Amino acid sequence: MELYKQHQLKIYNSLSNKKEAFEPLIEGYIGMYVCGPTVYSNVHLGNVRTFLSFDLIYRYFKHLGYKVRYVRNITDAGHLENDADVGEDRIAKKARLEQIEPMEVVQRYTVDFHNVLNTFNFLPPSIEPTATGHIIEQIEIIKEILEKGLAYEINGSVYFDVLKYNENEHYGILSGRNIEDSIHNTRELDGQSEKKNPQDFALWKKAQPEHIMRWPSPWSDGFPGWHLECTAMSTKYLGKQFDIHGGGMDLKFPHHECEIAQANASNHQMPVNYWMHTNMLTLNGQKMAKSTGNYILPNDFFTGDNKHLSKIYVAPVVRFFMLQANYRSILDFSDDALLASEKGYYRLMNAVHQLDSLSASKSSTLPINDWLKSCYDAMNDDFNSPILIANLFEGVKYINLLKEGKESLNAEDLEVFKTTIKAFVFDVLGLVDIISEDTTDKLATVIEMLIKMRNEARENKDWALSDKIRDELLEKGIQLKDGKDGTTFSVN
Ligand code: AMP
Ligand code: ZN
């Protein structure tokens, strides 16, 4: 039986601001959409934190046996510098500054994004669509919204009519904003805007002559508004209504509020059952962000070259550090906290290494089933990874007690204990066992050294020694192969 049938998962829904029992639209299947990065610069650790939270969530769903279609887009057009539909397109601006093509910018930072996520052991999403690959779908949605009378065209651009929409629907349903307040609080930018009301947002923008990223449309040669791409891609791959939509808290308004309005306007349907928002990573108490210079790049951990870091750290330690906070809590970065996580990570890994050497006894003296339940309870309570980790450290205590012979487990309990720890550490938390990797690297270095010694022996025509090295390695399961490019080895 699939594990999810034995567990009632609760998810904090930002739409109701409550933890709710999770019921997917189709039993056993989950559709999840997460807003991806705007690929105009390197992702910083804050961005990584948000994507990591969803990696954890995706991994837990899979662990429970759900079939998940996880869609995470790449924003490669339409995201302007300013949320009020003014300023340059972020990618076009970078291309102008660097004197390269916008698609070169997109390629460079998409590759960087993937490299970073691979380094941190993320699972790839099921589909990773791009905004530029879905212009036709976006144009179709604009047509539908225009037909419903909830958008208007002006000078080749099309804007969503927020006030009109709000007559029958609630613009602000997600962010809790009241439209009257927002009318009051929105400053018009020196009459620059051609919108009827400052709350309206762009569905299509006519491109200025110098704007390179442009597509033909019934209204003008231009480009889609930022919010539209996510409506187009989520609808295309997950349907008009799907289970989960996520992103960082800062996307709640206007981005996700506008997505709800667009979907409602074109489909008469609330698109998403559970909205999930992750909290921010801060540095010195301020949100980590490129624009303020208050950020750390993932690569800085591997070089140690950053004023906020006292030393080099490996990726699983950084991952572990972020998993020690709940995804809905603010996490402030500090080198001290990272040092503490490093200790914790190695303590956990060393204990996991002992697991296979534990042997079963006739009877059990540890409450393995209660412990197992606490691990699942933590994750079932809105993916509470810090509580799960606390339970895993309880497991570390058990391992030590078992090793010292102070407690015992029967064969069945021992098997449950081992598989559960490994499943949570590697499959759900996505930690990598760097200690084993380290050992493999060291083994390779030693074999290379022996190959060198054998080569020297052969040069000296000391065949007895060279054969001895080859034969003894073979006895240990390491086979040397002499080829025209030198000697290689394989471990059997
Ligand atoms: P962007 O490329 O700016 O759209 O950001 C990609 C994702 O990172 C979005 O979901 C943002 O909400 C998220 N994000 C940006 N800054 C932070 C931060 N300091 N902490 C956590 N998530 C962040
Ligand atoms: Zn989005």
CATH label of the domain that carries residue 30: 3.40.50.620
| CB of 127 closer than 8 Å to CB of 69 | yes
| CB of 103 closer than 8 Å to CB of 110 | no
Kindly tell me the burial class for residue 305, based on how many C-beta atoms sit within 10 Å of its own C-beta (0-12, 13-18, 19 or more).
Answer: exposed
Question: Do both 57 and 93 map to the same domain?
Answer: yes
* Residue whose C-alpha is closest to residue 489's, from 434, 432, 440: 440
Degrees, nearest 5: CA angle 174-177-181: 165
Question: Do both 168 and 288 map to the same domain?
Answer: no
* Domain boundary residue, one of 224, 255, 278: 278
| Number of domains, the chain | 3
| Ligand 1 and 248: CB distance under 6 A | yes
Question: Do both 32 and 12 map to the same domain?
Answer: yes
In one-letter notation, the amino acid at residue 257 is E
Q: How far is CA 43 from CA 17, 254, 292, 297, 299, in A?
A: 29, 21, 14, 7, 10
The residue segments making up the domain with residue 44 are 3-278
Burial per residue of 315-331, b for 16 or more beta-carbon CB atoms within 10 angstroms, e otherwise: bbbbbbbbbbbbbbeeb
Question: Do both 114 and 215 map to the same domain?
Answer: yes
* Residue whose C-alpha is closest to residue 150's, from 108, 194, 201, 187: 201
| CB of 244 closer than 8 Å to CB of 9 | no
* Domain boundary residue, one of 278, 310, 331: 278
CA–CA distance, 270 with 32 (Å, rounded to integer): 15
Question: Do both 335 and 449 map to the same domain?
Answer: no
| CB of 80 closer than 8 Å to CB of 90 | yes
| Ligand 1 and 35: CB distance under 6 A | yes
Question: Do both 245 and 345 map to the same domain?
Answer: no
Q: How far is CA 442 from CA 120, 348, 446, 486, 490, in A?
A: 22, 21, 6, 20, 15
Question: Do both 328 and 293 map to the same domain?
Answer: yes
Question: Do both 24 and 172 map to the same domain?
Answer: yes
CA–CA distance, 245 with 233 (Å, rounded to integer): 12
Q: How far is the CA of 47 from the centre of ligand 1 (A)?
A: 4
Ligand nearest to the CA of 230: 2
Ligand 1 pocket mutation, candidates 35, 44, 50, 321, criterion most atoms within 8 A of CB: 50
The sign one gets for the Cα dihedral 221, 226, 232, 233 is positive
Count CB neighbours of 359 within 10 A. 10
Per-residue pLDDT 10s for the chain (492 aa) are 899 999 999 999 999 999 999 999 999 999 999 999 999 999 999 999 999 999 999 999 999 999 999 999 999 987 887 777 777 889 989 998 999 999 999 999 999 999 999 999 999 999 999 999 999 999 999 999 999 999 999 999 999 999 999 999 999 999 999 887 766 555 554 456 899 999 999 999 999 988 888 999 999 999 999 999 999 999 999 999 999 999 999 999 999 999 999 999 999 999 999 999 999 999 989 999 988 999 999 999 999 999 999 999 999 999 999 999 999 999 999 999 999 999 999 999 999 999 999 999 999 999 999 999 999 999 999 999 999 999 999 999 999 999 999 999 999 999 999 999 999 999 999 999 987 666 666 777 888 889 999 999 999 999 999 999 999 988 877 888 888 778 877 766
Question: Do both 256 and 395 map to the same domain?
Answer: no
Degrees, nearest 5: CA angle 131-133-136: 95
Rounded to two decimals, the pTM is 0.89
Ligand 1 pocket mutation, candidates 250, 281, 297, criterion most atoms within 8 A of CB: 250
Question: Do both 104 and 25 map to the same domain?
Answer: yes
* Domain boundary residue, one of 428, 451, 483: 428
Q: How far is the CA of 328 from the centre of ligand 2 (A)?
A: 19
Question: Do both 113 and 189 map to the same domain?
Answer: yes
Question: Do both 294 and 235 map to the same domain?
Answer: no
* Residue whose C-alpha is closest to residue 90's, from 163, 50, 137, 37: 37
- Give the 3-state DSSP-derived string for 408-462, with helices as H, strands as E and coil as C: CCEHHHHHHHHHHHHHHHHHHCCCCCHHHHHHHHHHHHHHHHHHHHHHHHHHCCC
Which residue is closest in CA terms to ligand 1's atom 12? 248
Ligand nearest to the CA of 255: 2
CATH label of the domain that carries residue 349: 1.10.730
| Ligand 1 and 296: CB distance under 6 A | no
| Ligand 1 and 24: CB distance under 6 A | no
CA–CA distance, 250 with 280 (Å, rounded to integer): 8
